[in-house]
Amino acid sequence: MSETFDAMVITDAGERKTKAEVTALSLADLPDYPVLVEISHSTVNFKDGLAITGKGRIARRLPMIAGIDLAGTVVESASPDWKPGDKVICNGWGLSETEQGAYAKYQRLKPEWLLPLPEAFTPEQAMAIGTAGYTAALCVQALLDWGKISKEGPDVLVTGAAGGVGSVAIALLGSMGYPVTAVTGRPETHEYLSGLGAKSFLDRAEIAEAGKPLQAERWAGAVDVVGSHTLANVLAQTCYGGAVAACGLAGGADLPATVMPHILRGVALLGVDSVMAPMEKRKAAWKLLADHLDPALLSSVYSVHPFAELPQLAADIIGGKIRGRVVVEI
């Protein structure tokens, strides 16, 4: 075990700003939780991008090791639930917000935060999925539980299609045989999205502005990562009795909508949170991914990068330049 190791640490930069710096830490700098994990892979989610660039205040105390997702191997455990050599993953649970995060060679974690690495995936693949992909699975599971999407159609709509959540949602729905319309602002990604399983496309500008409270019924269900007018329009276009699983705010945290789709068409707005999702939901989401996500499709969704590229990757995800998912080797 090396005496010191590099970590990406968020610190106070004054004037209510934060900065991210690679800092040498030792095991003594880590929290006093029972399970020590050697981290092999992490990823960059939208929230990680906000934390590293300082564009969003993610850490609620400083200094804070950034990174919300990790895959690795247990090195020491004072918990009966885990033993050295166990391969594990951890998504969310406040990592990089209230708890020290994933961008470090080692981290000490609570046993109840960990899941065994699913047999279907390598650590690299699990991080290619990461919080974005597992959130996509939570959204798809919410639509399946609602019971209105059908392989015969109408289509399921996925917004922010070329991003992390969107890409995995399309791959998952496509692999399961559901017809998908993808909403993207990047026409150059159409071929990539078709490869994942998208059958039709909508330019994101078409649903980005304020629209009528009720519009033509088009979608059996939807996964929305954008929020704001986009979500309001998606609700207004959802078929009678359908549901929209909403998890993101890439286009804004507001929701300028009316109750009309809900009270006249029985449309449901299903809120999806990954950070504090209970273990049963997490297990179901990872099982859905293991059972239905085509490994060949997954390999087309991500690229692998060294730790040193974290600042650039963070800037790129905030700039909307990342296609699909990235894996970071720790």
Binding site for ligand NDP (CB under 6 A): 45-47, 131-132, 135, 160-166, 184-186, 204, 208, 225-226, 230, 247-251, 272-275, 317, 320, 322
Q: Which long-range contacts (CB under 8 A, 24 or more apart) does 257-260 make?
A: 257/213, 257/231, 257/232, 258/213, 258/232, 260/213, 260/214, 260/236
Q: Nearer to ligand NDP by C-beta: 77 or 159?
A: 159
Least spacing, CB of residue 129 vs ligand NDP, in Å: 11
Q: Nearer to ligand NDP by C-beta: 131 or 237?
A: 131
What's the gap between Cα 15 and its chain centre?
A: 30
Lookup result for tokens 């699983």: 245
Q: Nearer to ligand NDP by C-beta: 77 or 274?
A: 274
Least spacing, CB of residue 193 vs ligand NDP, in Å: 8
Residue 272 CB partners (closer than 8 Å, separation 6+): 135, 138, 139, 142, 245, 246, 247
Residue nearest to ligand NDP (CB): 163
Q: Is the dihedral of CA 95, 100, 104, 106 positive or negative?
A: negative
Least spacing, CB of residue 240 vs ligand NDP, in Å: 26
3-state secondary structure of 306: strand
Least spacing, CB of residue 4 vs ligand NDP, in Å: 31
Q: Nearer to ligand NDP by C-beta: 8 or 226?
A: 226
- Nearest-angstrom CA–CA distance, 277 and 279: 7
Q: Nearer to ligand NDP by C-beta: 12 or 273?
A: 273
Least spacing, CB of residue 97 vs ligand NDP, in Å: 12
